[in-house]
Structure 1
Amino acid sequence: MSSADQDSSATHWPDSASEVPLQVVSRLIYASLSKVDEHVLDEMRRIRDHAVVHNQAAGLRVALLHMSGWFVEWIEGPEAGIRALLDRVAQDPRHQGLQVVHHSRGKPRLFRPWIGSIVQSDEGPTAFARRLFALQDRQVRQSALEPASVWLRLCSPPAVDMPLTDGAFPRAMLLSAQGAQAFELLQTLAAQLKRPLVCRRFAGAADAARDVESDYLDLPALGQTGWRLVANARKGLAMGMAHAFLPDHAAVVLLLSDDAARNQHLVDRVLAANQQVHHVPVIVGLGTHDQVTPALQEQVERQGLPWVAARSPLRRPDAMDLWAVLQPVLAQIA
């Protein structure tokens, strides 16, 4: 599915009737060499269809990634279920050389039976392995990272010129009220600044959001520490990965439209998501004066989240016009 193919229908966050549970679970991340040579997306879909049933029955929540010739899987749930899953993976001919990267107990981040992702990367298997073993060594020699931090370091490494190469730079999640403005903004910005744009495809378990895209762009010159901008499809909110990493974002940028109902719908969903994960990012309303309304600001601030308006003075701003008003806002947040 193209990132531009975002629908206007409602999708729902997991456990939408209540807050995210905070019970302690076992958490494990492993990596293995992939023996899937081609048609990776088709293979991931086959894994999904099998895993959704079995993981849910075992009380497991899983995120599986294919990148640079490697599988990386993040598992949360009962220890016995995790061990049984590892035993099955060790016998699976699609995996070779399984390496446990992280093992701990703590609060959960994953709330879907299965989330899959594919990252397009020029990094080869050997270079990925060097990063993997360096991260393993850090886990042994220093205090253990949280699993979300381990996952981000392995699967979304920073650009080599980012000031903070340990991944501690601020992140902004970009969501469009209508169409694919968030993706178009990153694509235009990457072309203008001659920066690499990393494209990811997520395969989810939710019927309403089976496959969507999520792209990110690192901007080392923005602020003192650099920023990562992450474009997410609206449907991706139902898949769990955006949900899992929401607490790692300093800001959520809402690219608003001329349709007030769509703007309201997006704000409602973002506020619900932040309430579930107990996160208080800066909410940035980005658009024209008519789109970024006081009513939206009041709603956001009523829930206790800070609001910043990034208004373009133009009636029909293009991507770079929007960036001109967003850039100083992000620089101030950092």
Structure 2
Amino acid sequence: MLDNSSPQEPPDAPAESAAVLRVVCASEARNVETPYATLEHIRDAALRHNPQVGIHAALAFQSGWFVHWVEGPERAVDALCARVRDDDRHYGQRIVHLSRGPRLLMTPWSMMLSTNPESPLLMRERVLHLTQQHERGRQYAPSSVMRRLTAPMQLPEALDLPDPECYTRVGLCSAGGSEAFDLLRWLANERELFVDYRRFAGESGLDAGGAFVDQMYGAYALRLIAVARADLLHGLRRALMQDWAMFALLLCNDPERNASLLDRVEEAFEGAMSVPEIVLVGFDGDLVGQALRHGAALRLNARPAPYADPGRAPTVWRALSPLLKNIEAPPASGWPTVASAAAR
């Protein structure tokens, strides 16, 4: 757990001598009419060139802006960034993160499209703030940068805290249906919360949905994040999942589907620097027991929640609530900048 009192220099900040160069840039898009088609065209070009030189990348589109996270050998990353600066599909590229260390993106390509209708001016303000912070020698983890820009915490009570990014993140995924998303919609309806939707995709195949809701929970903000099963293996999702405190898996009445979800979760966290606590939610003791044994065979640190019917959102929330109260204070998000950042 990081020390919240010193967010600029966390004890496990990455060493400069580690494996890859990591760069996150933000730039404004020229064409905002068909953003997903643009992301697909960029993906096609990236997959023709990036894997051969060891580059992994994630690209997000939010409110008329691109956010590009790139990792790889330094020369290859420098060359890619130079080419990207000359791409006429965007302009005004700004560096908002620069570090060296182990890979955090575990796949060659992933992308995200936000459907939040906010004004591009709000996104610009966030980009300029992170740019200024970086230039002054303070920056944030790449996953934190992506959240701050494309999924910022908006609760007024959380924004008054010393570190608005210092909130608890809990993931939800269903083994069979859409119960994770149903829980968010139920909570939003009960507490007048806003559900923020987005689309994720990987190197190929169809995109998968994602959503989250924010609420205050005790002294800190809590973000509940619903994830589609198909999204679990996308590189950007895998990187963001490492910042979760808990991951609740909503089981179904099919043992094979439950085992399949656990297999996918195990693969998603392969090579991860941090793995959240895995919680299994189900109403049948035998099914939960089977899932626990399968998780143990995969070396997943899973435990059961109080019995609840995943198909009934109120019972799921009652089962999770006491577990959420025991989560420790969330970690700070600051990282020191790379010494050479000012020269770039």
TM-score of the aligned structures, taking structure 1 as reference length: 0.85
Q: What's the counterpart of residue 78 of structure 1? A: 73
1:284-334 alpha-carbon deviations (Å, 9 max, x no partner): 11121346523433454563625242312x6x8522222222222222224
User: 1:145-294 residue pairs with structure 2 within 5 A?
Assistant: 145-163=140-158, 164=161, 166-205=164-203, 207=204, 209-220=205-216, 222-290=217-285, 293-294=288-289
Classify the secondary structure of the residue corresponding to 1:43. Answer: helix
State the 1:194 CA deviation: 1.0
Verify the 8 A CA contact 1:26 1:79 in the aligned structure 2: yes
Amino acid at match of 1:332: N
1:36-76 alpha-carbon deviations (Å, 9 max, x no partner): 13121112111111111111122111111111111110000
Q: What's the counterpart of residue 8 of structure 1? A: none
State the 1:166 CA deviation: 2.4
Amino acid at match of 1:331: K
Amino acid at match of 1:247: Q
Classify the secondary structure of the residue corresponding to 1:276. Answer: coil
Verify the 8 A CA contact 1:45 1:203 in the aligned structure 2: no
Superposition CA RMSD, Å: 2.2
For 1:73 and 1:41, the matched residues in 2 are separated by 15
State the 1:89 CA deviation: 1.9
State the 1:162 CA deviation: 4.7
Verify the 8 A CA contact 2:130 2:139 in the aligned structure 1: no
Q: What's the counterpart of residue 39 of structure 2? A: 44
State the 1:230 CA deviation: 0.9
Q: What's the counterpart of residue 325 of structure 1? A: 319
Q: What's the counterpart of residue 31 of structure 1? A: 26
Amino acid at match of 2:289: P
Change (3 A) 1:301 1:159: farther
For 2:188 and 2:164, the matched residues in 1 are separated by 22
For 1:213 and 1:82, the matched residues in 2 are separated by 29
1:94-124 alpha-carbon deviations (Å, 9 max, x no partner): 1011111111211211122221111122321
For 2:166 and 2:123, the matched residues in 1 are separated by 20
Classify the secondary structure of the residue corresponding to 1:333. Answer: coil
Aligned length: 308
State the 1:278 CA deviation: 4.3
- Percent sequence identity is 34
Classify the secondary structure of the residue corresponding to 2:45. Answer: helix
For structure 2, list consecutive stretches of 5 or more residues without a partner in the other structure: 1-16, 329-344
Mapped pair 1:130 → 2:128: no
Verify the 8 A CA contact 1:223 1:330 in the aligned structure 2: no
For 2:213 and 2:255, the matched residues in 1 are separated by 29
For 2:104 and 2:321, the matched residues in 1 are separated by 30
TM-score of the aligned structures, taking structure 2 as reference length: 0.83
Verify the 8 A CA contact 1:286 1:292 in the aligned structure 2: no
State the 1:249 CA deviation: 0.6
For 1:24 and 1:129, the matched residues in 2 are separated by 32
State the 1:78 CA deviation: 1.5
1:210-240 alpha-carbon deviations (Å, 9 max, x no partner): 31111111121x2331211111111112222
Amino acid at match of 2:199: R
For 1:152 and 1:200, the matched residues in 2 are separated by 12
Amino acid at match of 2:175: A
For 1:23 and 1:272, the matched residues in 2 are separated by 24
Correspondent of 1:104 among 79, 83, 99: 99
Larger deviation: 274-283 or 35-44? 274-283
Amino acid at match of 1:148: S
Amino acid at match of 1:324: R
Amino acid at match of 1:110: L
Amino acid at match of 2:100: R
